[in-house]
Amino acid sequence: MKANSLSKYRPFPPVELADRRWPDATITRAPVWCSVDLRDGNQALAIPMNASQKLELFELLVRIGFKQIEVGFPSASDTEFEFVRKLVDERLIPSDVQLQCLVQAREHLIRRTFEALEGVPRTIVHLYNSTSPLQRRVTFGGASRGEIRDIAVRGATLIKELAASAGGTEIDLQYSPESFSDTELDFALETCEGVMDVWGPTAERPIILNLPATVEWTTPNVHADQIEWFCRNVKDRDRVQVSLHTHNDRGTGTAATELGLLAGADRVEGTLFGNGERTGNLDIATVALNMNSHGLETGLDFSDLPAAREVYERCTRMAVPERHPYAGDLVFTAFSGSHQDAIKKGMDLREGAGARWAVPYLTVDPEDIGRTYEAIIRINSQSGKGGVAYILDREYGFDLPKPMQPQVGGRIYQLADRLGRELTNAEIHDAFRDEFVNVERHLSLADYELDHHDVRKGNVRCRGKLAHSGETREYSGVGNGPINAFVHALETLGLKDFNLKDYRSHAVKGGSDADSAAYILLEGEGGKAVWGCGVDSSIELAGVKALVSAWNLLR
């Protein structure tokens, strides 16, 4: 903003709460969860969901484990009304799931809501009216606090009367002083307690008092102060379930919810992936998975988050951003070389499925929420040796010696820099094979044979033909092993201008049972050192091919 624009804004007043307790609290149990995807989420869509889309999303919410689902605003439109009737008439509501329906504190809307709910076994009627000074002045034409309170009380009174004649339907009441986030705390309390007086909650059947941050006006700590003040001052606290409903206007909806739970709240409303008006509602998946990452059971199952995301995106036509917590395409991906190196080391040191999760930069095991390890490390020009080594190991079975990794990594991210884009795993593998494996640019094997019998005990002889600078030459050499014998053969041909410094080999993981890989480090004139790799069905020949590769790479 320009400086001359700032005069139109004011800081939000703090809450007088000198002995606040929430900063020393810890979240030790999950709240009651209520999904509002089908109401709050749906009304925020440019194209609201049709009945089949709402049903598919409802079924997803049930599978995830939600026991309270706000399915709509049945008095708002025939479409909303008919969807609730579909769930009731076709017996699509599991016995352990409570439908919740929103309604303004207006008589004809309340009566229409009860028509929609006829025959439902258990339900929550969610009554609301706006209470803030801004809403009283703008929306209600300067209505007094008493007039606003009376609207809520009249609505609760009518709901109680209708509930008494609702047959076998078990009805709980939820009341929201909408715009609680900028309502005077004493007035929010007065209005809520007025509704309580009408409803007569008990410890066994508490009233839900939902305290929505309808608009996020201030920092999460002030929201926590508001919730703690309310929890400590509301009468008959054991007969009240304090509920949170945060929006995300300042980008801190998750923090506000978590601090609100520290402040004493019992229940949380939100949506999958934060869908909702303006910047959205609280993302329940994020808060639940945050709890999971601290070892807390939540009652919600996000073990196949990609499948949940797929249903959500298809039904809502909304896209989950790439950097969205847990669900985004890139949230478990490292491009940075130092991050990749640390992740690879952490993955290598894992002790097993049940061991404590301790991998740098990854707060949870991606597999626990249905993500694969394939996308943890991706390569561009910012990447380094660790990331390339991780991909070659996990995807293609090449366990590069640690001293070789800088040489391979350097070549790969030079390629990414030249292309100016991210490399696919296949491109990384192809580049590694082209640059380091079975390299035959100046020297190549035309024929190779190993004899264990015509030399003294403990030695072997190699013989065959090789091509060097367009000329085919025969070779023969004796040594205490295939590599040593081939080195002596090169020496007899005047081609040994190196020292062999290191040799490693292994079976290629995930490849053919016959595939073996070998790695050799040669040091040439002037101290230049290079690694080469050989792959063959014979571990002996793989070592010889690795030596040939390194010899060529020295040129």
| pLDDT tens sequence across 125-159 | 999 999 999 999 998 889 999 999 999 999 999 99
Task: Identify the pLDDT of residue 513.
Answer: 53
- Residue 369's pLDDT is 94
Q: What is the pLDDT of residue 385?
A: 64
At residue 121, the pLDDT reads 92
Report the range of poorest mean pLDDT among 124-128, 167-171, 308-312. 167-171
According to the model, what pLDDT value does residue 381 have?
Answer: 58
What does the H/E/C string look like for 419-463?
Answer: HCCCECHHHHHHHHHHHHECCCCCEEEEEEEEECCCCCCCCEEEE
Share of the chain above pLDDT 90, in %: 77
391 versus 433: the higher-pLDDT residue is 433
Number of residues written out for the chain: 555
Give the number of C-alpha atoms closer than 13 A to the C-alpha of residue 215, restricted to the C-beta side: 10
pLDDT band at residue 554 under the 50/70/90 scheme: very high
Lowest mean pLDDT, pick from 261-270, 286-295, 463-472: 463-472
* 16-55 tens-digit pLDDT: 998 999 999 999 999 999 999 999 999 999 999 999 999 9
Pairing of strands 516-523, 499-507: antiparallel
DSSP H or E run through 520: strand 516-523
Per-chain mean pLDDT for the chain: 92
Give percent of the chain above pLDDT 70: 96
Q: Which residue has the tokens 């007039």?
A: 147
The structure tokens listed for 22 are 């929430």
More confident call, 64 vs 376: 64
Selection from 307, 310, 334 nearest residue 320 by Cα:
310
DSSP type of residue 96: T
Q: 206: which DSSP letter?
A: P
Q: What is residue 379's predicted lDDT score, i.e. its pLDDT?
A: 61
pLDDT tens-digit series, residues 340-375 = 778 878 888 887 767 889 989 899 999 999 987 766
Of 461, 411, 471, nearest to 437 (Cα)?
A: 411
Model pLDDT, residue 377: 66
The predicted-structure confidence for 283-308, as pLDDT tens digits, reads as follows: 999 999 999 999 999 999 999 999 99
What domains does the chain contain, in order, with CATH numbers? 31-316 (3.20.20.70), 337-424 (no CATH), 443-554 (3.30.160.270)
Task: Judge contact between 453 and 478, C-beta under 8 A.
Answer: no
**CA-to-CA distance for 310 and 457, rounded, in angstroms?**
66
> Is residue 104 pLDDT above 60, yes or no?
yes
